[in-house]
Amino acid sequence: MGCQVGSLPFTYLGLPLGTSKHRIEEFIPLIDRVQRKLFACSMFLSYLGRVEYINTMITLMVNYAMCSLKLHKWVIEEIDRIRKQCL
């Protein structure tokens, strides 16, 4: 069929997939994505605008990851730390 054979772990729809428990290093792209989105617009929005942006966009991204994978406690704390920096 001409398909390419890959190996695990790999990224699918922005999430790391594999057969073993995920390492913290595999969640660094998720943390980077959250950080880029928060700091890109934080200087252009008011306080209430930033709160609304976090409640809509960032919460959805993190919830999507949490529904698919079990996040480490460190990953959740790091995203919360980034959120507090933005506000």
Q: For 32-83, write each residue's pLDDT tens digit.
A: 988 888 888 777 888 888 888 888 888 888 888 888 888 889 998 998 898 8
Q: Where are the domains of the chain?
A: 40-87
Burial of residue 69 (CB within 10 Å: 0-12, 13-18, 19+) is: middle
Gap between the Cα atoms of 62 and 64, Å rounded = 5
Is the model's pTM score more than 0.85?
A: no
